[in-house]
């Protein structure tokens, strides 16, 4: 199957139209199609768009950061929380020193317990992306073997 490497810039908005993130003014994103490098909804909807295309893509939560799961909300004794000092609603931290450990958000605090939400902050949120497709090219053999893009020109080294 032919797979492309796509480079695009984007502005991400929530359903209220607030800008959540943008690559405009920074580096565009380059990804290999079908490799899980970007959220599913973008991977699917960017396919077949030619370089130079401007488009508004609606990505439902299920194709973005997933639906919220209430099982990801947990109430724990304060002493089990690996954070020194006072905690307040909205604080975010990693559950472990491992840099891939999940990030949790404090959603409630009382004298003895802390309630943590491990859902992605954008779980359950339908997203709108204004995109500009900057370049589309066939993936190189190396990229297909590695399962990721090697930069916009395909010549970036990876570790």
- Using CB under 5 A, list all residues that contact Zn ion: 146, 158
Identify the H or E element spanning 141.
helix 141-146
Q: Compute CA 2 distance to the chain's CA centroid, rounded to the nearest angstrom.
A: 25
Of the two residues 6 and 81, which places its CB atom closer to Zn ion in the complex? 6
CA Rg value for the chain: 19
Of 6, 18, 4, 9, nearest in space to 122 by CA: 18
Nearer to Zn ion, 31 or 129 (CB): 31
Residue 31 vs 65, nearer CB to Zn ion: 31
Instruction: State how far the Cα of 105 lies from the Cα of 125, in Å rounded to an integer.
Output: 16
Q: Residue 119, SS3? A: coil
φ and ψ at 100, to 5 degrees?
-100, 5
Strand partners, 131: 10, 55
Which residue, 110 or 141, has its beta carbon nearer to Zn ion?
141
């Amino acid at each position: 199957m032919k797979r492309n490497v796509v480079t695009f810039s984007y502005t991400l908005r929530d359903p209220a139209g607030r800008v959540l993130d943008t690559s405009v003014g920074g580096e565009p994103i380059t990804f290999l199609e079908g490799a899980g490098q970007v959220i599913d909804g973008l991977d699917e909807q960017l396919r077949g768009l030619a370089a130079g295309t401007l488009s508004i893509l609606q990505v439902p939560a299920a194709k973005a950061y997933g639906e919220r799961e209430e099982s990801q909300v947990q109430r724990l004794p304060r002493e089990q929380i690996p954070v020194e000092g006072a905690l307040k609603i909205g604080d975010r931290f990693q559950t472990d020193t491992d840099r891939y450990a999940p990030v949790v958000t404090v959603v409630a605090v009382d004298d003895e317990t802390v309630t943590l939400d491990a859902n992605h902050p954008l779980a359950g949120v339908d997203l709108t992306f204004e995109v500009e497709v900057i370049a589309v090219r066939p993936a190189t053999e190396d990229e297909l073997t590695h399962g990721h893009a090697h930069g916009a020109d395909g010549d970036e080294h990876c570790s």
